[in-house]
Amino acid sequence: MSDSTPQEDAVAPSSQPPVKVPLVLEDTVSVLAMALLAVITFANVVVRYLTDTSFAWTEEFSIFLLIVVTMTASSTAFVRSQHIRIEFLADAGPRSRQRIMAVGATLCSLLFFIALTILSARMVYDEYTWGDTSPAIGVPTWWYSIWVPLLSAVITLRLAGILHRLLRASK
């Protein structure tokens, strides 16, 4: 049992915060994407070393995997309060000030990811409409870019949950 108040729990970082949808989903996707990235990069290096040629698709697919890892890891970093912040400002002062800073930072992040979800969805729609294809293997580019608005929406939902918990803890 913890001696902290609900308000302190809402502001303080935790490795397993109370969430309705388990973080293991994003963690699993991150691990699988990193493993796949390592395997295809290693295979490309070996093939390039042995044959002086490389797989054309690996760079394209690696960028896609890096985007997936970035977005899923960002989602869990927000929930676990492990994102980049200026601790001198965020953790200084009384708990009421820390909570105000946490609410402000979460609200700014939430607004950013709402905008990213909407704008990247418009980009995917344009790619689909115009029939853009990738340069290396010729698949539709929206196959890669559809994950940005989807994962941005996941982050938006996670941030909305964080904001809800922060505001509820202040009552």
Dig out the tokens for 119 from the structure: 């704008």
For residue 12, being part of any structural domain is answered with no
Residue spans of beta strands (DSSP E) within the chain? none
Give a yes or no: residue 1 inside a domain. no
Q: Looking at residues 134-143, what average pLDDT do you find?
A: 89
The upper half-sphere exposure of residue 83, i.e. CA atoms within 13 Å in the direction of its Cβ, equals 18
Whole-model pTM? 0.82
> Is 99 part of a structural domain of the chain?
yes
Say if 55 falls within a structural domain: yes
Mean pLDDT of 64-85: 91
The answer to whether residue 8 is domain-embedded is no
Residue 2, pLDDT > 50, answer: no
Closest by CA to 158, choosing from 117, 97, 100, 101, is 117
Q: Provide the pLDDT for residue 12.
A: 53
Residue 2 lies in a domain: no
Residue 138 lies in a domain: yes
User: What tens digit of pLDDT does each residue of 94-123 get?
Assistant: 888 888 888 999 999 999 999 999 999 999
The answer, yes or no, to whether residue 146 has pLDDT greater than 70, is yes
Q: What is the pLDDT of residue 1?
A: 39
- Does 7 map to a domain? no
- d(C-alpha 135, C-alpha 31), whole Å: 27
- Please state, in angstroms and rounded to a whole number, the distance separating the CA atoms of residues 99 and 59: 43
Domain that holds residue 38: 21-169
Provide the number of structural domains found in the chain. Answer: 1
Share of the chain above pLDDT 70, in %: 89
Query: 140 forms bridges with which residues in the sheet?
Result: 133
Average pLDDT over residues 23-41: 94
Residue 166 belongs to what H/E stretch?
helix 147-169
